[in-house]
Amino acid sequence: MIPMLALVMAFNSTAQTSARKSDPKPSTVKPIEATPTLADAKTPSPNFSPVYFNPNESPLAYLANDPLKVYAWIEARTESVPGKPDQYSTTEERQKYEVALAERMKEVQPIPIVGPCQKKYDPDQQSFEIKVLLSSIKDYSLKSPNPEALNLRRLTLTQANVQRDTYTAQNAYGATTEVSRTKSDDYVLVFPAGASNEPTSVLVSGNASTSVRLPYRYSFNFLTLSAKLPPAEARENDKQIVCMYIFSLEPPYAFKFREREMPTRDLPYERSSNGFALFGRLDQVAVINKASGQVYDQAARSK
């Protein structure tokens, strides 16, 4: 089990097809703060290496673990192992590759990455309710790892190369609607469901019904934590309160996937993304102040 952080509580201080096309209406895309481009992520700096978890270290030390750089570093490390199996590889060749890959990755320790989380302040309770969304992977061509068979959860760390625009779509009956379209590169943590892979003590199902189990593609959950601050401090520190995810990597360590959601009349939104996933176990989640390093709440997996 990974040691817990030193906890300091803060009580005080085109659409489907369109027979009729219209000129796209591009919208201004606000760049994500301090996020490198995909090209930067593809070519990791030779001087970059992630800061590994140390229970005695301030969370501020891990702000350098940019998700794009960490992914690029892990990917470059795995791709440096020769003999990657293909459809022509024998069982013996596959086994040799797996041994070599494990040897290459054995020195990689748990990596903390700071990322966003949902916040809602209750002034009567003087506390932020913190939620971290865990959703399914909707790439039906992905076979290794198999999202549904492994019941994989996806936790989004950041998005890069976000593009937004709108267009007019038309269905077979001639009805038109304005569609909002978003494209992005999503950097995510992916891990199987279960107590050995995630902090189940703070896990809450997103399904309002307890008697009906949703199909995998529609399933989602939340990690729920809190941050207690009086109103004045909450107002001052709102933008500084984020989450930190401590993650242990396991085979296949890193992989890519693609998702696309098409618009409907009732839900006129099209979304497509390229996914860049780090695979393993979510050891711990913590609510921190990225300016002061203060830790408000935390939870760890139990196994």
Q: pTM here?
A: 0.83
Q: Which two tokens stand for residue 243?
A: 């989450």
Domain ranges of the chain: 38-300
97-108: per-residue pLDDT in tens? 999 999 999 999
The mean of the pLDDT values for the chain is 87
pLDDT at site 209: 61
Q: Where are the alpha helices (DSSP H) in the chain?
A: 38-42, 67-79, 91-105, 147-150, 231-237
Q: Give percent of the chain above pLDDT 70.
A: 84
- Separation between Cα atoms, residue 136 and residue 281, nearest integer Å: 16
pLDDT tier, 74 (very low <50, low <70, confident <90, very high otherwise): very high
pLDDT above 70 for 141: yes
Nearest CA among 201, 281, 294 for reference residue 1: 281
Q: Which of 151, 245, 145 is nearest to 189 (CA)?
A: 245
Say whether pLDDT at 20 is over 90.
Answer: no
pLDDT-based confidence at residue 265 (cuts at 50, 70, 90) = confident
Which pLDDT score is estimated for 213?
A: 81
Q: Is the pLDDT of residue 5 over 70?
A: no
Nearest to 244 by CA among 94, 44, 58: 58
- Integer CA distances (angstroms), 187 to 32, 46, 157, 274, in order: 13, 21, 6, 9
Place of tokens 């830790």: 295
| pLDDT band at residue 225 under the 50/70/90 scheme | very high
